[in-house]
């Protein structure tokens, strides 16, 4: 019975963790916009969420793309099924940097809004369960 009540909460908590990880990746891309040879990274959110809901660890490949890059800290996962992808370069760059600032900023804002929405869903579910427990 309890697992039925918390299954939606588990789904949204997985989504929140993935949104936070994607936000971190997008921030890293924006921060490295002027780094020569930096390859922008992103995560396929739907594929990662599907893996997370199936009980698999969704994140992989958070290391550096080149020897001079600062590696991203690993997510709190042990085994991974979905790896991080590389962003497709839309404009050629002389220094081989694949970060498109306009796209990254748009993705950052979009992900921020979705992160906030997920927080609101979790908050609403928690309030709903609390009012059900209290009998209100």
Name the average pLDDT for the chain: 82
pLDDT at 69: 63
Domain with 98, as residue range(s), is: 2-134
Q: What is the distance between the alpha carbons of residues 35 and 78, in angstroms, rounded to a whole number? A: 30
> How many independent structural domains does the chain possess?
1
Tens-digit pLDDT profile for residues 47-92: 999 888 887 655 544 455 566 666 555 444 433 445 688 887 777 7
What's the token pair of residue 24?
A: 């971190």
Backbone dihedral angles phi then psi of residue 32, each to the nearest 5 degrees: -100, 25
Tens-digit pLDDT profile for residues 10-52: 889 999 999 999 999 999 999 999 999 999 999 999 899 988 8
CB 104 within 8 A of CB 30: yes
Q: What is the distance between the alpha carbons of residues 133 and 116, in angstroms, rounded to a whole number? A: 26
3-state helix/strand/coil string of 77-113: CCCCCCCCEECCCCCCCCCCCCCCHHHHHHHHHHHHH
pLDDT of residue 1 exceeding 90, the answer is no
pLDDT at 61: 47
């Amino acid at each position: 019975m309890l697992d039925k009540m918390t299954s939606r909460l588990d789904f949204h908590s997985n989504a929140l963790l993935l949104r936070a990880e994607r936000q971190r990746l997008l921030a890293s891309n924006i921060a490295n916009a002027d780094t020569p040879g930096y390859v922008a990274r992103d995560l396929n959110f739907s594929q990662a969420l599907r893996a997370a809901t199936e009980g698999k660890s969704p994140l992989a490949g958070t290391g550096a793309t080149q020897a001079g890059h600062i590696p991203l800290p690993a997510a709190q996962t042990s085994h991974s099924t979905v790896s991080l992808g590389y962003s497709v370069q839309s404009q050629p760059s002389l220094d081989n940097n694949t970060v498109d600032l306009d796209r990254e900023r748009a993705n950052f804002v979009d992900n921020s809004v979705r992160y906030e929405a997920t927080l609101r869903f979790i908050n609403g579910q928690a309030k709903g369960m609390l009012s059900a427990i209290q009998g209100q």
